[in-house]
Structure formats: C-alpha cells, structure tokens
Chain A
Amino acid sequence: MTPPTVAPSAGARSRSAAQALDRRDRAWWQDLLARAVVGLGGISAVLFIAAIIVFIASQGFEFAWHRLSWSELLTGARWEPTAKPPSYGAWPLIAGTAWITAVAMAVAVPLSFAAAIYVGEFATGRRREWLKIVIETLAAIPSVVWGVVGLQVMNPLIQRLFDTPVGLNVLNAGIILGLMAAPIMTTLAEDALKAVPDAHREAAEALGATRWQTIRKVVLPHARPGLSAAVLLGIGRAFGETIAVLMASGHRLLPPSSVFDSAATITATIAAELGEAAVDSDHYQALFVLGLVLFCITFTINLLADWLVRGGRGRA
C-alpha cells in the first residue's frame, strides 16, 4: 500500500480505517504463536501427569485386578516376590519409608527453619546474598553424591558413635535425606518469611518486642501457611528420593523397630528390583502397583501443601 500523496477524502479514510480492523499484521501473528506455544507448555504438565498415571496403572493393572490382595499389599509383613509361593506384603517398605521420612524431617525442619530465620531475619547485605547462593548450591548436589556420603562417611561414623554392627540404617538414611531436603525447605521457608510485611516487624519492635519475640509472635504466625507448605514439600521430596536412600538405608526388607535397624523404602525397592523382574511377570506388575501407591502419597502431600498455601493467602 502506497501512502496517498493528497489528503484522502473523509469517505476514503473511514474506509481504510475499517479495513485495518480486520488486518492480520505481524504483531497479531506473533501474539497467536506465542499464545499457542505457551499454552502448549502449560497444558503439557497435565498431559505428562496423565500419561504417567495411565502408564503405571496399565503396567500393573492385570495383576492388581486379578491376583493382588490390596489388604495384603498394605499390611502384609513379607515382601518376597520371588519366593514360592510369592508374598506381596509391602508393609516393611511403607514402614521403612515412614521411619526414614520421620527421621529426615526431625533433621530437616529445625535445620531449615533455623537457616531460614537466620537468612531472612538476621543476616544482612553481602552475607545474606552469599548464604542464599550457598544454600541453593547445596540443593543442586546430585543425590548419588549424598548416597556416597551415607555409605563412606556416615556409615563408619554411626558404627563408631553408637557401637552398631551396621551403620547403614534408618538413622543414616534419615540424616542424609534430611540434609538433602533442607536446602529447598530453607528456600521455601525464607520466601514465606519474606512475605511478612516489614511494617509488622517495625510495629512489634516499636512496642518493645525483642527480635526473637517479634519473630515468634508476629512473623512466624503470619508465615505459618507457607512454612507448613515448605515442610510438606520437604516430606514429598523425602518420600520420592531413591538412590541416596538405597545406598544409605541398608535395604533390609523388614519393618524397622528402631532407628538403628536397616530398612528399605518403596522407591529403593522399585529401583533395586525392576531390573531383575521379567517384564509382565507378577513381580514386575507388583512393582508398578507400588509405584502407584507412592504416586498417590506424594500427590496427596502436594495437594495438601497447595491447599495450605492457598488457605493462608485467602485468610490474610
């Protein structure tokens, strides 16, 4: 289109203006493309989740439907899929997972909350920035490295300190898992503290509250939903971790009765046995059912965390 050399009549101008209303120009196409790409990315998460559920369920479906007793799976005390007759009691694995996660949280919650409070409320300036970088780096250490620490450092240490024959046990795996979960929990907890307005801190301190009183009576209650979410996501992380636990827990297929017992977790069992089980055998399918159980647990935890955070925002 060439620009008119003479001033167009009023009729021509309104006509060209009307045409412009339907023109698909560059920006219009870019917008369409960007929306499509971004939308696809957003929806893909849902697709992946759905695909994984369908895959896991389909792999174990035939066995779970016809031959598996769910009550035996959830409460049976023997996980012996290769024995004759086989026994599919996953209780030792569920108990092992629960024990190790509990120890992990006993380590991670105080550690990460203390770290978050220090970084968020006390550290200032350059030290604060450095600490945040270090904590984020800690979160990026591969889990197999943590496993080696459990195997080579914690194992002899626990043997010597507690005079136990084996140092690969619930305590070892729990501490390793706790240290692994702590950085991400620290970051989330610090975000929750940062969301508390400074005006609230000032108001409390102007009343003569000490720093600690301000944190305990004003900051922490206000940040509670975010802190709960941090704990739950840490639990989810601990539940799902595999290789480090496999290396540090001793992988004993019995329910532990103290932190010095070796134990096995759901994830570690799947990782250890899936390679040996013949495809489509009962054993193979049982492992997928275990995966489904694990998925349900972590899904519930994440949902709960999300609900907590939302509930907190809605209230404040």
Chain B
Amino acid sequence: MTAPAPATGPANLVTVRGLSVRYGDHVALQGVDLDVREHEIFGIIGPANAGKTSFLRALNRMDEFVPRMRVDGNVTFAGRDVRSVRNLYALRRQIGVVFPLPVGLPLSIYDNVALGPRLAGTTGRAALDEIVERCLRRAALWDEVKDRLDGLGSLLSGGQQQRLTIARALSQDPSLLLLDEFSIAVDPVTTMRIEEVLKELRRELTIVLVTNLVQQARRLADRTAFFLGGRCVECAATDALFGGGARDQRTNDYLEGRFG
C-alpha cells in the first residue's frame, strides 16, 4: 500500500492504519490510524491504560517481549511494512527507544553508548570514541561524565542515567526516536535540559514523544494525538488542540485536567 503523502510539506516517516494490540483477551489498542511526518515531534498524551506504550511497542516490534501480545493492522516505517522486514534488528537500529525508567546497563558509561555500534559491527576505537562523545554531547551529558567514562553507567544518578539512555538510543543514528514518558524518574531541571535537547534533535530526526505531562506535549510537540481507552480520540496540530480547537469534548476535558 502507498501512503497518501500530501502534495506539499514533509513526507510521512511512519504510517499506521487500523492498528490494534491485544494482550490475551484484553484489548489495549483498537483501530488507530496515524501518520508521523519526517522531522516533527509527534506527541501522544492520554491517561494510564490508554494504549500509548502499546503503540510504541508496535512501531519497532518490541511485542516479542510480551508473550501474549498480538498486533494487528498495518504499520509502515520509511515505506516498508514493519511486519515484513527480514532483518528485524536493522529495523530496531533505525528506531531508538527510551523507556520510562532509565536503564543504565552494568557496563561502563563508554560501553553503554558504544554497545549498539559494537553489536552492529563497528570496532575501530577512533570511530567509537567519536560516536560516544557526539552522543553524550547531544544528550547533554558529556560535560558531567567526560572524566569518568570508565565508571559504571548503573551508578549514575537517575537523571544522568536517563540522559545516558538517550545517548545510547542515539548511538546508531536512528531516523526515528521513541520516547516513553522519559521524565517520570527525572527531576524538573533535568527534564527541561532534555527537552532542549529534543528540540535540537528535531532537525536531524523524527521523534514520537509519549508523555503523561500535558504541558510537555504543548511545549515540544508539533502535532499531538490524544489516546483514551485504547483509541486515538483525535490528532491535530498542537497549537490548534491547545488553543481550544479540539473537536472532541473528552480531549478538552483531559487538557483542562478534568479527568486523568
């Protein structure tokens, strides 16, 4: 199938049609149609159990971790149906993921960032040095750790570990970055720093930002989708959505904090 790209404006990097996700008998996500355009920050907001995380998992096929998870529908990335790609690992290398809780692998800071490139076959020390420094700089962590790259990544503070996780997610030059409530375990100051980083990154890649903070989506996202109870209620330009342009009353209620 061909994604109907608009005549003008950026092309779609991700198209989602009729996506549903089930865990056994429980339906987590149903009938979602969305497009994510290149070089945008696409925000997804919604209360708990709205299906936000399931949506992310379907994008880079992380469904294998949950034995009873079933994904139906059509998801394309860069024009390819993600369910038909032969090299799943190459797909995942092009899609970086940041989980809600920082995962500092029990390796050195350097090895945490170099892990992905190494697994993909990069071995030259100079090349790895360059990647590690570039990614740590982009994640606004370099200045804090440049003197102790051999220290254990799992011993950093929560906020530092989350930035380390972002650096690791960037280590393979992904064209799409998925962030799942990255600020849950991070203090407000660090959150603002990471948000600045994300605004910078938009020039180089596309970001899907799942967030439990409505205002975070407002600050960062170009377009925002509102998920509720496993359905995408609506998706619109963030300015329009927050400027009172929501078509659905439930969206307005959520944005104004009347339920959550």
Chain A residues packing against B (C-beta within 8 Å): 124-125, 198-210, 213, 217-218, 221-222, 316
Distance from A109 Cβ to chain B, minimum over Cβ atoms (Å): 23
Distance from B174 Cβ to chain A, minimum over Cβ atoms (Å): 9
**B90 x A208 contact (CB < 8 A):** yes
Using A206-B92, A209-B89, A210-B89 as known contacts, list a sample of 4 further A-B pairs with CB atoms less than 8 Å apart, ordered by residue number in A: A125-B67, A203-B168, A205-B62, A206-B60
Contact of A200 among B64, B67, B103 (CB under 8 A): B103
Does B65 lie at the interface of the complex (its beta carbon under 8 Å from any beta carbon of A)?
yes
Q: Which A residues are CB-close (under 8 A) to B101? A: 199
12 contacts between A and B (CB under 8 A): A125-B67, A200-B105, A203-B103, A203-B165, A206-B62, A206-B97, A207-B119, A208-B120, A213-B119, A217-B118, A218-B105, A316-B106
- Interchain CA distance A198-B103 in the complex, whole Å: 10
Q: How many A-B residue pairs have CB under 8 A?
A: 68
Q: Given A208-B172, A218-B105 in contact, is the A202-B65 Cβ separation under 8 Å?
A: yes
- Interchain CA distance A79-B212 in the complex, whole Å: 77
Contact of B115 among A124, A125, A217 (CB under 8 A): A217
Does B116 lie at the interface of the complex (its beta carbon under 8 Å from any beta carbon of A)?
yes
B88-115 to A contact mask, C-beta < 8 Å, 1/0:
0111110011010101011100000001
Chain B residues packing against A (C-beta within 8 Å): 60, 62, 64-65, 67, 89-93, 96-97, 99, 101, 103, 105-107, 115-116, 118-120, 154, 165, 168-169, 171-172
**A202 x B99 contact (CB < 8 A):** yes
Q: Which B residues are CB-close (under 8 A) to A206? A: 60, 62, 92, 96-97, 99, 169
**A207 x B171 contact (CB < 8 A):** yes
Distance from B248 Cβ to chain A, minimum over Cβ atoms (Å): 33
- Interchain CA distance A208-B99 in the complex, whole Å: 15
Q: Which A residues are CB-close (under 8 A) to B67? A: 124-125
Q: Which B residues are CB-close (under 8 A) to A221? A: 106-107
